[in-house]
């Protein structure tokens, strides 16, 4: 992959290597698709491993050239420490590079979405400031909007049932008027109240009580029996209708709707709420993407506290030089100990752990972004 001539000096090899690394990094940011990213990550991982293999071969050749040259007495311990740290350093440098590439990909993905939005909108929108409170409110509105949409979808199904079946309630009321005259509301009220609260046993008791309630004297026996039969038949059937469809008939306060008209009014009110939340969410679509891009830049800055692609490669080369070439005097020993071995163990002892945290934050951030993006695009 490196395309190096045998015997290329390690610094020159590193220059060729870093150029290829940067090409992969740019490619990952310019084409941030998932499939493309996986391919680039695999290639980057292999590229680093090839470079490390070359560095080990180079170090072996260097040792052969300098085998007769003496080392300072303190050099042996430092070379041993370098050897012990080598595999961990290589693994962590690869992990760092992959985290760097993934951050570039995330930034490229968000930037593409932002560019697409601004192009469709005809440029940047009004200067709307993003605050932590904005993020909290936006998250709340998105959750509330989702709940309202789910509620409306459920209520629409319930309304379809009632539109088909509520004629039973109308027949019940008509028959009750025949038997009870102006008093019918007094007998109907407990029934409706029980239905409203979903107390179906109470509704059935209220229905049975109607058979023994005081009736009008002007009604003939045959008409009275027919009306009573209708009351029990249609009233019982409507209880079963509501019982079977209750999950799609429940209002926010837990009570049940039992007329399609009631549901229609509620759906219209909730549609208005959804529209108001849509307006707020849409207002902050562009600022949200800018905020997300800035957050990813901040993550990248945190990652670069550990080092950079160049500085970590340079540190690795210096470690390999100290392992492969003589440390002839105390000055060389101290420089290697303080500037190379000390730095390597400092990174391995704590700084490299930040890479895992940053990688996790990046993953969580992009999962949240993709969910948010789906919410925003529902408005388009």
What is the per-residue pLDDT across 66-99, written as a single tens digit (0 to 9) for each?
Answer: 888 998 999 999 999 999 999 999 999 999 999 9
CA 242, 244, 247, 250: dihedral to nearest 10 degrees? 10
* Within-domain flag for 147: yes
pLDDT at 80: 95
Q: What is the mean pLDDT of residues 44-65?
A: 93
**pTM greater than 0.75 (yes/no):** no
Q: Which of 280, 314, 331 lies at the terminal end of a domain, its last residue?
A: 280
Domain count along the chain:
2
Pair (215, 311) in one structural domain: no
Would you say residue 109 has pLDDT above 60?
A: yes
Pair (142, 274) in one structural domain: yes
pLDDT at 379: 57
Pair (150, 276) in one structural domain: yes
* Within-domain flag for 235: yes
Q: Which of 249, 280, 311 lies at the terminal end of a domain, its last residue?
A: 280
Q: Which of 233, 264, 280 lies at the terminal end of a domain, its last residue?
A: 280
Pair (187, 138) in one structural domain: yes
Pair (147, 272) in one structural domain: yes
Pair (318, 198) in one structural domain: no
Pair (206, 329) in one structural domain: no
Pair (118, 158) in one structural domain: no
Q: How confident is the model at residue 265 (pLDDT cuts 50, 70, 90)?
A: very high
Would you say residue 122 has pLDDT above 60?
A: yes
DSSP codes of every residue in 156-222 = HHHHHHHHHHTHHHHHHHHHHHHHHGGGHHHHHHHHHHHHHHT-HHHHHHHHHHHTTS---SSS-HH
Pair (165, 230) in one structural domain: yes
CA distance 306 to 280: 39
Which residues have a Cβ under 8 Å from the Cβ of 297 and sit 6 or more positions away?
107
Pair (150, 194) in one structural domain: yes
Unique residue bearing structure tokens 């000096």 = 9
pLDDT at 137: 86
Could you list the residue range(s) of the whole structural domain that residue 210 is in?
Answer: 134-280
């Amino acid at each position: 992959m490196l395309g190096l001539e045998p015997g290329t000096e390690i610094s020159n090899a590193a220059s060729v290597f870093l150029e290829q690394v940067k090409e992969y990094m740019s490619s990952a940011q310019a084409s941030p698709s998932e499939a493309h990213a996986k391919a680039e990550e695999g290639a980057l991982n292999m590229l680093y491993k090839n470079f490390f293999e070359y560095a080990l071969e180079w170090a072996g050749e260097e040792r052969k050239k300098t085998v007769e040259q003496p080392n300072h007495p303190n050099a042996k311990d430092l070379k041993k420490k370098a050897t012990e740290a080598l595999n961990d350093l290589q693994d962590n440098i690869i992990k760092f590079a992959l985290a760097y590439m993934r951050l570039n990909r995330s930034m490229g993905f968000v930037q593409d979405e932002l560019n697409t939005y601004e192009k469709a909108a005809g440029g940047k929108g009004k200067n709307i400031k993003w605050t932590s409170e904005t993020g909290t409110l936006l998250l709340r509105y998105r959750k509330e909007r989702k709940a309202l949409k789910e509620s409306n979808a459920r209520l629409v199904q319930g309304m379809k049932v009632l539109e088909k079946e509520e004629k039973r309630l109308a027949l019940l009321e008509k028959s009750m008027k025949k038997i009870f005259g102006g008093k019918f509301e007094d007998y109907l009220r407990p029934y409706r109240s029980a239905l409203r609260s979903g107390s179906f046993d109470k509704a059935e008791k209220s229905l049975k009580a109607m058979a023994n309630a005081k009736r009008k004297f002007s009604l003939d026996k045959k008409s009275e029996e027919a009306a009573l039969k209708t009351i029990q038949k249609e009233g019982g059937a409507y209880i079963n209708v509501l019982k079977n469809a209750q999950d799609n008939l429940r209002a926010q306060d837990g009570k049940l709707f039992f007329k399609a008209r009631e549901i229609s009014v509620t759906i219209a009110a909730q549609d208005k709420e959804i529209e108001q939340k849509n307006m707020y969410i849409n207002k902050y679509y562009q600022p949200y993407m800018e905020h997300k891009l800035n957050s990813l830049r901040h993550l990248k800055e945190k990652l670069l506290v550990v080092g950079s692609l160049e500085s970590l490669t340079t540190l690795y080369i210096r470690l390999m030089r100290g392992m492969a070439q003589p440390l002839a005097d105390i000055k060389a020993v101290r420089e290697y100990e303080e500037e190379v071995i000390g730095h390597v163990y400092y990174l391995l002892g704590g700084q490299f752990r930040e890479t895992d945290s940053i990688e996790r934050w990046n993953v969580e951030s992009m999962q949240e972004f993709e969910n948010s993006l789906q919410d925003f695009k529902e408005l388009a």
